[in-house]
A and B are shown apart, each in its own frame.
Chain A
């Protein structure tokens, strides 16, 4: 059983508690330390989106750099000579260039992590055309075809190989990009 007390008494007792001595939870030095840490945390939080974007960009560059480097080396290797070569030499250069591209294509991994259906169809289509052209070239050589005819076929083959390399390179970049 309780004896009732009025609101003024409660208020007086609450105020008495409010006037009790108290201390700050920590001193000025500790407050300063926490303030600096908090400001640092806020700065990091504020810059987090930029940091994430920079990390993603760095990851993409690191992933793509070997491929870009490799392609540039190949481009450098198959760059046309400064002076116009004779017809026979030009044909030889075309063959060399095609062999270089084919070597690069042969060095690619057979299975990409991600292969789009359209790109896959383009690659197989080009590969079929190159194979058909190889058969035709063999048949023409066996039949003793004229060199101009053979040169035309070689140039056509070189264009197909070049197209194949471009598609494969684009596909490789796409699969390497997160």
Chain B
């Protein structure tokens, strides 16, 4: 899967989609949809919520395509819409209430039930998915935006409406937890060697 910002969309296709050409809109949907959904799913975890946000994001894409000025790739513009919607959801009282209802004391082992986001093609992917699922939703969003999507601490802070130190501390905590989850354990190595 290509990164959302790296997916090339021809200007001519965008122009036709602006003019409500259904075929052009379908082509853009097929090109960008998978990456958009993967990003949203990575940020919010829950598949049902991710589907709602995906639908909302793609609808916003076609409704607001007239505002797209082509200064950045269409994928980058769409990524901003998707991330904004995801973070709005993560900050919403509804999300906090759902977390409390589903996970009670925020037990990471229960949160791991949300994986996998992508079909597992290797043991390493499974490990990373499990480690990601052990993070809090905010921690997972921060680490993903910083390490994978390339956002700066300033951008993340702005998106969350918080300070830069909030972004840095969330990242540090998330990385510490990922280190713990991803590091090979000595006992495991011994067992597999025998």
Interface segment among B52-60, B68-76, B97-105: the answer is B52-60
Within 8 A of B (CB), among A5-34: 5, 7, 9-11, 13-26, 28, 31, 34
Would you call B185 and A16 a contact (CB within 8 A)?
Answer: no
Would you call A35 and B175 a contact (CB within 8 A)?
Answer: no
Inter-chain contacts of B185 with A (CB < 8 A)? 1-2
Inter-chain contacts of B37 with A (CB < 8 A)? 22-25
Of listed A3, A5, A17, A21, residue having the most chain B CB within 10 A: A17
Min CB–CB distance B59 → chain A (angstroms): 6
Q: Which residue of A lies closest to B127 (CB)?
A: A13
Contact partner, B29, options A4, A5, A23, A24, Cβ 8 Å = A24
Interface segment among B82-90, B116-124, B153-161, B162-170: the answer is B116-124
Contact partner, A31, options B34, B58, B178, Cβ 8 Å = B58
Inter-chain contacts of A34 with B (CB < 8 A)? 55
**B13 within 8 Å of A (CB atoms):** no
Distance in angstroms between the alpha carbons of A67 and B132 in the assembled complex:
70
**B77 within 8 Å of A (CB atoms):** no
Interface size class of A (residues with CB under 8 A): 20 to 34
Min CB–CB distance A127 → chain B (angstroms): 60
1/0 contact string of A117-156 vs chain B (CB within 8 Å): 0000000000000000000000000000000000000000
1/0 contact string of B10-28 vs chain A (CB within 8 Å): 0000000000000000100
Min CB–CB distance A149 → chain B (angstroms): 81
Distance in angstroms between the alpha carbons of A1 and B42 in the assembled complex:
28
Q: What 7 pairs across the A-B complex have the smallest Cβ distances? A: A24-B33, A22-B38, A2-B183, A20-B118, A28-B26, A11-B147, A18-B148
- Seen from chain B, the residues whose Cβ lies within 8 Å of a Cβ on chain A are 1, 3, 26, 29-30, 33-38, 41-42, 47, 50-51, 54-55, 58-59, 117-119, 121, 124-125, 128-129, 132, 143-144, 147-148, 175, 178-180, 182-187
A-B CB contact pairs (8 Å), 5 listed: A7-B147, A19-B1, A19-B3, A24-B29, A25-B54
